[in-house]
A and B are shown apart, each in its own frame.
Chain A
C-alpha cells in the first residue's frame, strides 16, 4: 500500500467519483455516499484496500482542517455568546449520556473501569459527519445548527480531560500489557505535571502573540507579493503547525486548529484562508468517511449480529433521548429538537481514538473494543439514513412554523450585503447601508486600501473578488444583495457574469464605468449605476443655478435631462451592433434631446397656476394637528 501511493490514490478517487455524485443526486447525501464507497473498496467489499487503519489515521487530518475553518468563522465574541449553550447543552449532554452508557455497561457485567471508558467514548458525536451534513443543508446559522455546533465543540474540549482520565482506569489483569502500549501513535496521554501546564500556557500565549503581531504583517507581505500558491502554503502551514504543537502538548489536534482558526477570525484574510483550505478539507474529509466505511468489521458483525444490533439501537436511542430532552428544555420546537437529536445521535470518530487509547492503556478488553468500534461505525452510517427518514416521513407531519413573510430575518448571523471593491465608489454606498443597520461583508484586493480603511475602523477582507470560491465563502449565495463596486471594468463584467451564473437568485448592483461598460452589464442582465453620471448631472444643476436659474427650475430641468439620457441608453443598446444605425441614432437623439428639453422647459415654465381660474388664499393655519395614518 505504501509503496504504491498513486494506485491507492487512484482507487480512493475512483470510488469517490463513482459513488458520491450518485448518492447525492438520489438524496442519500454525500456522507453516506463516501461510506458506501468505503465499504465497496474495503476488506469486506472488493478488497482493494486491506489496512483501513492507516488511512483512517491520515484522513483524520480532514477533521482538523474542518475545525480550523469553523474557528475562522467563529469570532471569540460569538463563542462567548454561545456560552450558555456550550455549558447548558454541551456539558449536560456529555455528562448525562456518559453516566447512562456507563451504567448500562456496568449493569451488563462490564468492569467499572471499562464502563467509564465506554460511557465517555460513546457520549461523543461525530463532528465530521454532523458538520458536513449541517453544511450541506445550510443549517450552520439556524438555531438548531448553533445548538448542534455548541455540543460538538464542548465534546472536542472534553477529549482533553477524558484522555487524562483513561490511564487511571487500567484493569488489574491488563496492567502489565499497558506498559508496552504507553506510546500510542495518535494521541499521547497528558502527564499532569507542572511542566506540561507551563508548556500549555507558553504555547497558547505564543500563538496568541503570533496571531496578533506576527501573522498579519506576514500575510500582508505575502498578499502583496501576489504569489497565490504561497498564500495557500501559508494557510496549510498554519494548520499543520497548530496540529503539531497540540500533539506535542498531548492535546487534540482538532482543538488546536480550531483555536488558531479563531485567532484569525478577526483578520481581514479570513475568507482567503478559508477558500484556500477548503478543497483540502473536503477531500480529506471524504477520505475519512471512506475509511470509516472500510473499517466496519463485518466479521465481528457476523459473529454476533443480534448483540451488535442491540448495541447500535441502544446507542442511538439513549443519545437521542438525552439530546431531545436537552433541546426541548432549550426551547427548540418538536421538529427542531428531533432533528437535533437525530443529527447528534451517532458515535463519533473520537470514540475510535479513545477506544484505541483505552485498549493501549489496558482499560478495555480487545473483544469489547472491536464490538464497540463496529457499533460506532454503524451508527455513523445510519445517521444519513435516519435524516432521510426524518425528511420524508416525520418532518412533513410536524408542520414547521411559517415564517412571517416580508420581514427580513435580522437575527441571522450571516452578513446581508456583500460589497466587492471598497474603494472610493463602494465606500459611499456602503456607508449608507451601514447607517441603516445592514451588515456588510467588504472585500478588496488592495492591501494598501485595506490598511487605509482599517485605520478608520472599518473591517475589510482581503481577497480577489474574481474567484468563485471566495465569493461562495463570503456568502454570495446567502447575501440579500451584492454590490460590485470595483474600479476595473473588465473585472466587474467578469464578476457579474460569474454571479449571474452561479448565484442566479442573489440580486446584483454593479458599477458601470462608462456607457460601453453599461451595455456589457445590460447584456449580462444585472442592474447598474453609471459611476460619474449623477455627480456630473448635479454639477450641471449647480452650473445652471450659478447662471441665474431658480434652483427648483434647474433641478427639474436636470431631472428631465436624466430621464432622457436613460431612455437614450436603452434605445442605443438595442442598436449597438449596427455602427451606422447607432451613429445615426446618436445624432438624431441629440436633436431629440434639444426638442425634449425645449418642451420640458415650456412645460416646466408653464406653471400649474396659469389655469382658468384664480385661487383664493385660504386660511391655511388650522389649529388642530391632524396627522392620520
Chain B
C-alpha cells in the first residue's frame, strides 16, 4: 500500500504513555500513514543513518509526534535528526531529499496551556520551543505546517483525548490526500 505520510514517533516509555500511545494508534489506523517508532527501530539508541534515510522512500509528508521533555523532544529524536538529516541528502549540495515535503509537529505537554506564556511557569509560549524544529524543516526546504499541541496530556479527560485524536486523524488524512495530488 502506498504510504505517503511518515509518522515518526519518539517516546521512550510508550508502555506508560497515555496520549502519545493513543496518537500512534490512531495514526496506525489511518490510511496512507506509516508509523515509524524511533525507540523500537533503534532500541539501543544507535541510529543507523542509512537505514533511517531509507524509511523516507516514497514519503511526501513528515509528522513528528513526541512529548516535550526539557523544552524539546526526547533524546533519540535529536540523535535521529543528527544521523539522518545529513549534508548531501537533507541539505547542501545535492541535498534535495526532503525538499517540498510537508512537516507537521505534533507534541504533548505535561502542564496546562497557561504555563506556556511569558511570565508563566514555563516562561514562553510552546511555539517558541518548537522553533528549532521549524528551522530544521525550513533549512531542509520543507513546508512547515501549523503544529498540533496537546497540553496537560496526563490530566485531560478521555473525551478531550478523543477529540484531539480525531483532530490529528483529520490532519493526517489531509496530508495523505494532499500528498496524493501533488
Binding site for B on A (CB under 8 A): 555-556, 559-560, 563, 603, 606, 608, 610-612, 622, 624-629
Contacts and interface: CB of A to CB of B under 8 A. Distances in A.
Contacts of B147: none
Interface in B104-139: 108-111, 121-123
A203 to B, nearest CB: 54
A608 B123 CA distance: 30
Interface of B: 17-20, 44, 46, 48-50, 67-71, 82-83, 86-87, 91-92, 108-111, 121-123, 153-154
Contact of A612 (B49, B87, B153): B87
B121 A559 contact: no
Given A559-B46, A563-B48, A603-B49, A622 B71 contact: yes
Contacts of A626: 68-71, 109-111, 122
A425 B12 CA distance: 29
Contact of B153 (A560, A610, A611, A628): A628
Given A608-B82, A612-B92, A629-B17, A624 B48 contact: no
Nearest to A612: B92
Contact of A629 (B19, B46, B92, B121): B19
Chain B: interface secondary structure? loop
B111 A629 contact: no
Contacts of B109: 626, 628-629
Contacts of B18: 629
A556 B79 CA distance: 13
Nearest to A607: B82
B15 to A, nearest CB: 10
A560 B153 CA distance: 38
A626 B73 CA distance: 11
Contacts of B111: 626, 628
Contact of A628 (B44, B87, B110, B123): B110
Closest 3 CB pairs of A and B: A628-B110, A629-B153, A608-B82
A612 B91 CA distance: 9
Nearest to B90: A611
Contacts of B68: 626, 628
Contact of B87 (A556, A611, A625): A611
Contacts of B50: 603
Nearest to A613: B139
B46 A556 contact: yes
A625 B111 CA distance: 10
25 contacts: A559-B46, A603-B49, A606-B86, A608-B82, A608-B83, A608-B86, A610-B87, A611-B87, A611-B91, A612-B92, A622-B71, A622-B122, A624-B122, A625-B70, A626-B68, A626-B69, A626-B111, A628-B69, A628-B108, A628-B110, A629-B19, A629-B109, A629-B110, A629-B153, A629-B154
A624 B108 contact: no
Contacts of A625: 70
A366 B117 CA distance: 95
Contacts of A622: 70-71, 122-123
A629 B69 CA distance: 9
